């Protein structure tokens, strides 16, 4: 079975695998090693790697080059998803700010074996989205439980793929697509918008008090997609991050440099950004230092 962004089983299997769900699963804070971040700062661990800013905001934007990826573990999902968004983390009042309005581009390695190995855990993780408003803490626990199930089956599938017994089921395909999401609602793929490694992407999310506007541009291919979602919920956090599936394997990928990062018209360095990192099964991913309106990850 060939998988594709248009009709892939993984896309329809569960919204939990798509961008946005990470916020509920942040479970720990570690001290960053100087060699990794060039400063001994706390790193919030989940499945975002990058920077989050808390406050009252109206706009966030950034530019990046979509990475080339290398598929490493055929039995598990491997994904890197650069995106920008408003809300999704705990605001200054300590409460999770929702809905998380975000847009970006995904680069994914997936096989038939990985899809079926992930399905049991993804069904559990879907419950987390349903609980996001009612009880974010319980939602986070549910998501972590589903993650453990997914990773257990994924590790078994990866070991089976390593034997070479099921070459067709373990054939890994790369998928690159553009999307937007208003988590906890499911993500929406721009099926007619092509994304390839090396494309220059620009994303912006803004809020005018009554609606969020999510705009994604592929400056290399000349297209722009804009979605407007009504909401009076204020923007309490801003994110410019790379996402991976929670605690799963990351693919190899070329370094991603976010440039021209603006939050309400000001560069990222003007704020007190919080560093986030991914404790993947095959590496620990965290952002490099902020340099004005840019930083590099990977």
The per-residue pLDDT string of the chain (298 residues; one tens digit each, 9 = 90 and over) reads 334 443 344 444 444 454 544 444 344 445 444 334 445 678 999 889 999 999 999 999 999 999 999 998 899 889 999 999 999 999 999 989 999 999 999 999 999 999 999 888 888 888 888 888 888 889 888 988 888 888 889 889 999 999 998 899 999 999 999 999 999 999 999 999 999 999 999 999 999 999 999 999 999 999 999 999 999 999 999 999 999 976 678 999 999 999 999 999 999 999 999 999 998 888 899 999 999 999 999 8
Instruction: For residue 119, give every residue at least 6 positions away whose Cβ sits within 8 Å of its Cβ, in sequence order, or none.
Output: 13, 14
**Residue 39: predicted pLDDT:** 54
H-helix segments, 14-135? 34-37, 112-131
For the chain, give every domain's residue range. 28-110+174-297
Residue 187 sits at φ, ψ, to 5 deg, of: -75, 160
**Residue 19: predicted pLDDT:** 52
Other Cβ atoms closer than 10 A to 167: 9
Q: Are 168 and 112 in contact (CB under 8 A)?
A: yes
**Residue 8: predicted pLDDT:** 42
**Residue 144: predicted pLDDT:** 85
**Residue 216: predicted pLDDT:** 98
**Residue 211: predicted pLDDT:** 98
User: Hey, what are 98's tokens?
Assistant: 């929702």
**Residue 126: predicted pLDDT:** 83
**pTM attached to this predicted model:** 0.89
CATH of 28-110+174-297, one of 2.60.120.700, 3.40.50.300, 3.30.365.10, 2.40.100.10: 2.60.120.700
Q: Are 89 and 97 in contact (CB under 8 A)?
A: yes
**Residue 3: predicted pLDDT:** 42
């Amino acid at each position: 079975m060939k998988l594709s962004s248009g009709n892939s089983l993984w896309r329809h299997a569960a919204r939990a695998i798509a961008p946005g769900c990470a916020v509920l699963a942040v479970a720990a804070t570690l001290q960053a090693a100087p060699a990794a971040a060039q400063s001994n700062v706390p790193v919030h661990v989940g499945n975002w790697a990058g920077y989050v800013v808390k406050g009252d905001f109206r706009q966030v934007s950034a530019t990046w080059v979509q990475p080339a990826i290398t598929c490493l573990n055929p039995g598990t999902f491997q994904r890197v998803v650069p995106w920008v968004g408003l809300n999704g983390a705990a605001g200054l009042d300590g409460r999770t700010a929702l809905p998380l309005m975000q847009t970006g581009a995904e680069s994914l390695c997936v096989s038939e074996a990985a899809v079926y190995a992930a399905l049991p855990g993804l069904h559990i993780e879907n419950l987390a989205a349903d609980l996001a408003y009612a009880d974010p803490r319980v939602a986070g626990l549910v998501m972590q439980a589903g993650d453990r199930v997914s990773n257990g089956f994924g590790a078994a599938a990866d070991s089976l793929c390593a034997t070479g017994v099921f070459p067709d089921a373990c054939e890994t395909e790369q998928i690159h697509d553009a999307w937007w999401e208003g988590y906890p609602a499911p993500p929406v793929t721009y099926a007619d918008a092509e994304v390839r490694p090396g494309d220059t992407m620009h994303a912006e999310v803004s809020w005018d008090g009554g609606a969020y506007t999510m705009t994604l541009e592929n400056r290399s291919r000349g297209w722009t997609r804009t979605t407007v979602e009504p909401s009076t919920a204020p923007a309490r956090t801003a994110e410019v991050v790379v996402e991976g599936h929670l605690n799963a394997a990351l693919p190899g990928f070329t370094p991603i440099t976010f440039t021209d990062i603006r939050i309400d018209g000001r560069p990222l360095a003007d704020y007190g950004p919080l560093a986030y990192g991914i404790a993947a099964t095959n590496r620990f991913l965290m952002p490099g230092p902020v340099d004005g309106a840019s930083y590099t990850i990977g």
